[in-house]
Each structure stands twice: as structure tokens, then as C-alpha cells.
Amino acid sequence: MPISNVKTDESQQIAQYWNDIANDFDAIYTGNKNPLARILDRWLRRDIYQRFDWVMREAGDARGMNICDVGCGSGRFVVGLAKRGAQVTGVDFAPEMLRLGAQLAEKEGVADRCKYELSDILDWKTNEKFDMVIAIGFWDYVADPLPRLQVIRRLTKTTFLSAWPRAATLRAWIRTVRLKVAGCPVYFYTLPQVEDCLQRAGFRVEAHEILGQLHCVRSVAV
């Protein structure tokens, strides 16, 4: 069934891709796969676990915080942050991802602190503002970051944490081919490109670190 909440062909393609592989994606976190695949994940996808730890470290004691997770997927960050005491809203355009997220929130006993919204972030209508916004594993699937960054800037009171796949690496090239075959476009960024986009959207970069294939950036709204 086509995804009904997206407007462009490319968004449709990306939402459909993530909807179809939602369970497989979440298995990277649960390790619910054969032992060899688990070992390969721990080796080749190490930065997926590292970026999770980075966000939890940056969020610190999140009690009382109101946080938005853009492209929240299966809700791993939403639930992780809710378990640290935050009120968290996850936004994603793949319904199956949100179903897994809601299930996880129930299982972990934090459903009362988690909310999920089915939308392309570009079209999400809200008057809410958040102490912190995160967008992790998201920019890989965005052809033109600025319009979505401008939406995120309007949502952000203070801090924005983002992880961007690094351009010009061997793994970037391999991923481009793999995802092209799977029917999902993918995009990569240099650090100057990331800094330029963030600045144009109204953020100041406070800290940057490279974790595996990623630029992980803490910025603040100015």
C-alpha cells in the first residue's frame, strides 16, 4: 500500500523503503538476527551504536526536558530519552516505524512520556517548541537539507544534535550503490557543507566530532 502522508515521488520512495525494512532496521538495535549478521553489524555499523551513546551523553540528565526526534524510526532514541526523564515527540513518515516505536515505549514503560507523529517533517504542523531537537540517521535521505533545517530551527529553543554521513569515503560509495539497487536515494556531506547549512538555517555550531562514517554536530539556536 503506498504511503499516504508524503507529497513528492522521492519522499514516497524513501518512506516506502523505510516502511518495508522497519523490522530489519530495528534488529540492528535488538541483535535479533543470526550470529554472523550480528557480528557484522557490530563491526560495520558500529557508528549506529556510537551515535546513540553520543546523543544520550549529550542529553545528560534529561528530566523535565521536552525533546523532538526528527526521523525517529523505530523509536530507539525516543524511548532512550524518555527513560532519562524527558517528554519526547518522534516524527517520521513511515507508519511501520512508528508502530514499532509505540510498541517499544509500551514495553519499556514510558508510553506516557512518548508521542509519535506520522508526517514528513517538512509538512508537520505544530506550535510546540522543544528544548532539544535531534535528527540522527536522517540527513542521509534528504536531497536539500535547508528547508527541513529551517523547519527544525523553528521547533528548537536551544540545542540541535545532528549526525551527517561523511562524503568521499569508500563506505559512502558502497552505500550509494547498495541503496540505489534497493531503490532508496542517499546523500553525503562534507563538514563545510554541514556547517554552512546549519548556519544558514540559524544555528551556531558548538561542537563537532567524527564517529565512524558520521559528522556528529551539536549546535545551538541563535
Ligand X SMILES: C[S@@+](CC[C@H](N)C(=O)[O-])C[C@H]1O[C@@H](n2cnc3c(N)ncnc32)[C@H](O)[C@@H]1O
CA end-to-end span of the chain, whole Å? 42
Nearer to ligand X, 99 or 208 (CB): 99
Only one of the segments 13-21, 166-174, 188-196, 197-205 lies at the binding site for ligand X (rule: CB under 6 A); that segment is 13-21
| Rounded Cα–Cα distance for residues 39 and 33 (Å) | 10
Residue 93 contacts ligand X per CB under 6 A: yes
C-alpha cell at 117: 507523529
Q: Using CB under 6 A, which of the segments 88-96, 171-179, 191-199, 200-208 binds ligand X?
A: 88-96
> In the set 54, 67, 68, 76, which binds ligand X (CB under 6 A)?
76
165 touches ligand X by CB under 6 A: no
Taking CB under 6 A as the criterion, the residue among 54, 138, 164, 203 binding ligand X is 138
- Told to check if 94 binds ligand X by CB under 6 A, we report yes
- Site membership for ligand X, residue 194 (CB under 6 A): no
Nearer to ligand X (CB atom), residue 76 or residue 113: 76
Cβ pair 140, 169 in contact under 8 A: no
Q: Which of 130, 141, 160, 188 binds ligand X (CB under 6 A)?
A: 141
> Residues 65, 67, 68, 71: which binds ligand X (CB under 6 A)?
71
CB nearer ligand X, residue 31 or residue 204? 31
Pick the closer one to ligand X by CB: 137 or 212.
137
Residue among 65 and 214 whose Cβ is closer to ligand X = 214
| DSSP code string of the chain | ---SS--SHHHHHHHHHHHHTHHHHHHHHH--S-HHHHHHHHHHTHHHHHHHHHHHHHH-S-TT-EEEEET-TTSHHHHHHHHTT-EEEEEES-HHHHHHHHHHHHHTT-GGGEEEEES-GGG------EEEEEE-S-GGG-S-HHHHHHHHHHHEEEEEEEEEEBSS-HHHHHHHHHHHHHT-----B-HHHHHHHHHHHTEEEEEEEEETTEEEEEEEE-
Query: Does 188 contact ligand X by CB under 6 A?
Result: no
Closest distance of CB 208 from ligand X, Å: 19
Which residues of the shown chain bind ligand X in the complex (CB under 6 A)?
A: 14-15, 18, 71-73, 76-77, 91-94, 97, 120-121, 136-138, 141
